[in-house]
Amino acid sequence: MSWRQTKDAPFFVGYLNAVPKPLVTFLAVFSLCFAGGLGLAALALSSTQNDPGNGGFQWGNRFEHVGLLELRPYPVLRVPADGDTPARTYMLAGQGKRGVFEQAEANKGSPVSLRGVPVNRGDLTMIQVGGVEAAEARFEGGFPSDAVPLGRWKLTGEICDGKCYAGAMRPGRGLAHKACANLCLTGGIPPVFVSSGDVKGRNFFLMADSDGKLLGDELKPLLALYIEVEGDVEQLDDLMVFKADLSTARVLK
């Protein structure tokens, strides 16, 4: 005795017979609709997310310059003007989620040759340091100038870690990035304030406390939030430094 598939009962039993044509048609239509539905859901979800920006590592543009290492209060490399090229100040970070305080302390105020990889987003450039060596240099344009005070400002925006916001992570801001930013700042990555407005055309600022010193755990409750805070702004070549008075900070949302 054997069982055979009939037209009225298109039931599939793999070891007895082939897949009935009605089931083949149903499975084909279902598969196409399922795949199309997943694609539409992915498109709908992605369209509601904030643009992570176009920042990223500039692997094909290796950085190597001679300049002065300074602590402002985070490590920066100041490259003096050279002819028509204006002076620049670069923020520095180490590999991964670490800063470069040891190298900066060992070479503070001395000419160095610094190698690394730029992480760039718009006007913000962070250098991931690969090596630092003492250099015998004569700066034809003179040593970097003093910081220029720009007065007291009330800024609105978000506190981020400068390396991720520049493009090491995408997104590098917002609640989705809060835990990562916390680790980076704890490891010594310089914090930046990303402002909704600008000061002399710049909307990101290397942060320090109101006395120009390192910030610590007082930053954590304010990370990844849209805040308003007052402080003094000074210009260090092309880099803005925001000496934030966190006692004035107010969470807006």
Residue length of the chain? 253
Among the listed residues 99, 80, 163, 160, the one whose alpha carbon sits nearest the alpha carbon of residue 126? 163
Q: Most distant CA pair in the chain: distance in Å? A: 102
Output the CA angle 216-120-99, nearest 5 degrees.
30
Give per-residue pLDDT as tens, 219-240.
Answer: 989 998 999 999 999 999 999 9
Per-residue pLDDT tens for 152-168? 999 999 999 999 999 88
**Whole-angstrom Cα distance, residue 12 to residue 18?**
7
Q: What is the pLDDT of residues 93-103, one digit of tens each?
A: 999 999 999 98
| Cα 124 from Cα 113, distance rounded (Å) | 21
pLDDT tens sequence across 23-77: 888 889 999 999 999 999 999 988 887 777 788 899 999 999 999 999 889 999 9
Q: What is the pLDDT of residue 89?
A: 94
Compute the mean pLDDT over every residue in the chain, rounded to the nearest whole number.
88
Other residues' Cβ atoms within 10 Å of the Cβ of residue 144: 20
pLDDT at 6: 57
234-253: b (≥16 Cβ within 10 Å) or e: bbbbebbbbbbebeebeeee
| Per-residue pLDDT at 216 | 87
Percent of the chain whose pLDDT exceeds 70? 93
Distance CA 152, CA 65 (A): 33
